[in-house]
Amino acid sequence: MKNPIQYLPFFPLKLVAFPGEELNLHIFEPRYKELMQDSEQNGTSFGICVYLNSLSGYGTEVKLEKVIKRYEDGRLDIQTRGLKPFRILSFDNPMPGKLYAGGNVEFLTDEPKITTVQHYEFVFYLKEMLYLLNYPAEFDSQSVNSYSFSHKLGLKLEEELELLKMESEADRINFLINHFKRMIPVIKAIEQAKEKIKQNGHFKHLDPLNF
């Protein structure tokens, strides 16, 4: 069965919006003021397209949830929420009759199933990583998924994009577990180095060595 295709307005940004994520944006360009006006009036979604050195070809459909603040000059502070990742099939810049771009997108499929062992390993490393990063996070271990804290885990933009493109929760979980296994020893080593630096200059009580 083919993946669904839809025509979406585009908002290219140097960031990855993950499904389910709440994303706050400050809107100041005329074309995106127009996009938000259209989205608010018509209740339509739009696509945040990941821009690296050029358009990556992937993005996430997002919904405008709330306009938090309207400025006198037309700027906006808005709250959005990520819906579904997509692959860009065509790019019209601008859309007919609009200031902003748009195009056809193909929504990615998603296989949500993972094993119990994978889930427990993921939660174990996730808690340790967040602790080492001093990020206070209370979460339900049963409902947490690969997207839940992805912006808090020290991933590069390119790695976040790689995660977004994966069409299986098991693949995303394995990707993050491997990331944890690489990064946790590095963070611990840095913390140990910081402690050693703090101790320099203080009087030390050293045990005698027997040799």
Q: Give the pLDDT of residue 136.
A: 79
Q: Could you give the CA distance from residue 157 to residue 94 in angstroms, rounded to a whole number?
A: 26
Q: Could you give the CA distance from residue 64 to residue 7 in angstroms, rounded to a whole number?
A: 17
Q: How confident is the model at residue 45 (pLDDT cuts 50, 70, 90)?
A: very high
Give φ, ψ of 191 to 5 degrees.
Answer: -65, -40
Q: Give the pLDDT of residue 139.
A: 84
Q: Given a cut of 90, is residue 60 above it in pLDDT?
A: yes
Are β-strands 102-107 and 76-88 bridged in parallel, bridged antiparallel, or unpaired? Answer: antiparallel
* Mean pLDDT of the 146-159 span: 93
The strand pairing partners of 11, in sequence order, are 48
Coil, helix or strand at residue 40: helix
* Mean pLDDT of the 115-122 span: 95
Q: Could you give the CA distance from residue 58 to residue 108 in angstroms, rounded to a whole number?
A: 10
Q: Given a cut of 60, is residue 204 above it in pLDDT?
A: no
- Considering the chain, what is the average pLDDT of its residues? 90
* Mean pLDDT of the 18-24 span: 95
In 102-188, the DSSP E strands lie at 102-107
Rounded percentage of the chain residues whose pLDDT exceeds 90:
76
Domains, the chain, with CATH or none: 5-107 (2.30.130.40), 116-199 (no CATH)
Q: How confident is the model at residue 135 (pLDDT cuts 50, 70, 90)?
A: confident
Residue type present at position 35: L
